[in-house]
A and B are shown apart, each in its own frame.
Chain A
Amino acid sequence: MNTNISYRFSWYKVVLAFMVLSLSNIAFAGDDENDVRNPLGCLDVGYEFELKTLSLFPKEAGTRNSLYFIRNKSNQRVNLYQMRQGDSSLSMFLNHDIHPNRWAVLSTCEQEVKYICTVDDRKSKYGKIVDCADNLQVCEFARVRFGLNNRGNHWIVNSNTRNGAVREVVRYGIIPQ
């Protein structure tokens, strides 16, 4: 009798394990597909690709302090070098690099942020200039509620998966809407 129960119990366990495995497979498969889509609520606004460069206009849609999710859709590391109007030795450049197929997140409240994109090249310290439009996917959370204590211009996420990037932002205390 006892043997029978334990036999039935292990059979259920096998079925359960199989179901969990299939579910996780579906979840992971979905993760890959989801990774190329913009996060929910992240809109295709507040930026422009022009002459190989990327311009961000945080104030254009929604509040001035915005959150940009930027995906490197190429299979090599993309370096972002900020371009500024004035030439001052004390200008702060919000430069960054994003790993292949990964998302980075920039918080900014500047009027305009302009980037030139490069990929690593042995011949040049700054790399070879590439067209930002071919290598980047951009979206903006235009109505983010920032606390007074976490505003500013800085990179919040260096390089992560889409869900990982959203998690990092939330853990940072910023709620994208």
Chain B
Amino acid sequence: MNRYQCVLAVTLAAFFSIASAGDDPVYFGKALCKYPQYECVRVGRSQSWKKMFPDEQQRDLVQRLNRTYNYLWAGKTIVVPKNLDKITWKDVSPFPLKITPQEKTKQVIIDQDKLAFAAYDEDGNLVKWGPVSSGSDRCSDNSSPTCRTKTGIFRVFSKENQLCKSGVFPVGRGGAKMPYCMYFHKGLAMHGSNDIPGRRASHGCIRMFTRDAKWLNHHFVELSNEGNNYLGTKVIVRPLKGREN
């Protein structure tokens, strides 16, 4: 019996390691450790982002690279660029700095594999990028069979200020904070959040750093008006690799 249990345990362990390997990041966080420009740092006891990176700009950059600004815990590994004092957000961008847009319009591209958004101006210049957390495969509250974000090309039709709240979540009550929400399809919105865990964890919305959501809301995203032919800023939610829907 014990032998069978051992075999079962080994099989399960192998299965889970294969399964989790499939979800391992490729473009950010620990995945960058293998490149010579980066080093991996183990967080020590009673450390925090502020203590480790007193310079605000450098802290912001490391948080972007790790796709999280949640509290750090002892033993967590984070990736840090070796020449942190010399690089800018453009140097560590997972998106090209210039693209050829198919139509002259501003667009926000959400890449769920890169766990990041890119904001491009009308001429295709990258003006901002940052981490996101999109819909998880399974809903944490079992409210739906899946919480994956709907993919497609949409337009922002409504935006609110820092007091924006969900009318649906938590289920039955609503009231979850969604500061600087920008709705692009039905109840789906890009919004600020204090919880960006470095993986897909939302109910379908696109969570982003609150400072990024504020910048997008105030300086980039336009609602439909006469000037843009009643088409708000374009939002492209790209499908996950190997999953077209």
Contact = CB atoms under 8 A, between A and B. Distances in A.
Contact of B158 (A92, A149, A150): A149
Contacts of B95: 90
B152 A152 contact: yes
Interface string B156-197: 011000000000000000000000000111100000000000
Ranked 7 nearest A-B pairs via Cβ = A154-B152, A152-B154, A153-B153, A148-B157, A92-B236, A95-B244, A86-B102
Interface string B231-242: 000001010000
Given A148-B157, A149-B186, A173-B186, A88 B100 contact: yes
Q: How large is the interface on A (under 10, 10 to 19, 20 to 34, 35 or more residues)?
A: 20 to 34
B109 interface: yes
B17 interface: no
B154 A154 contact: yes
Contacts of B157: 148-149, 151
A152 B185 CA distance: 8
Nearest to A84: B102
Q: How large is the interface on B (under 10, 10 to 19, 20 to 34, 35 or more residues)?
A: 20 to 34
A90 B186 contact: no
Contacts of A90: 95-96, 99, 109, 111, 118, 236, 238
A91 B102 contact: yes
A36 interface: no
Contacts of A89: 96
A110 B236 CA distance: 13
A150 B111 CA distance: 21
A91 B124 CA distance: 12
A154 B100 contact: no
A95 B242 CA distance: 11
A153 B152 contact: yes
B127 to A, nearest CB: 14
A152 B244 contact: no
A154 B158 contact: no
A92 B95 CA distance: 14
B190 to A, nearest CB: 14
Interface in B210-245: 224, 236, 238, 244-245
A96 B153 contact: no
B185 A150 contact: yes
Nearest to A89: B96
A151 B245 contact: no
Given A92-B238, A95-B244, A158-B245, A150 B224 contact: no
Interface string B100-127: 1010000001010000001000000000
Contacts of A153: 152-154
A49 interface: no
B102 A85 contact: yes
Contacts of B199: none
Contacts of A129: none
B224 A148 contact: yes
Given A84-B102, A91-B102, A96 B154 contact: no
A70 B180 CA distance: 38
B59 interface: no
Contacts of A149: 157-158, 183, 185-186
Contacts of B111: 90
Given A92-B236, A94-B152, A155-B245, A150 B186 contact: yes
Q: Which of B96, B152, B185 has the most CB of A within 10 A?
A: B152
23 contacts: A86-B100, A88-B102, A90-B118, A90-B236, A90-B238, A92-B236, A92-B238, A94-B152, A96-B244, A96-B245, A149-B157, A149-B183, A149-B186, A151-B185, A152-B152, A152-B155, A152-B185, A153-B152, A153-B153, A154-B152, A154-B153, A154-B185, A155-B152
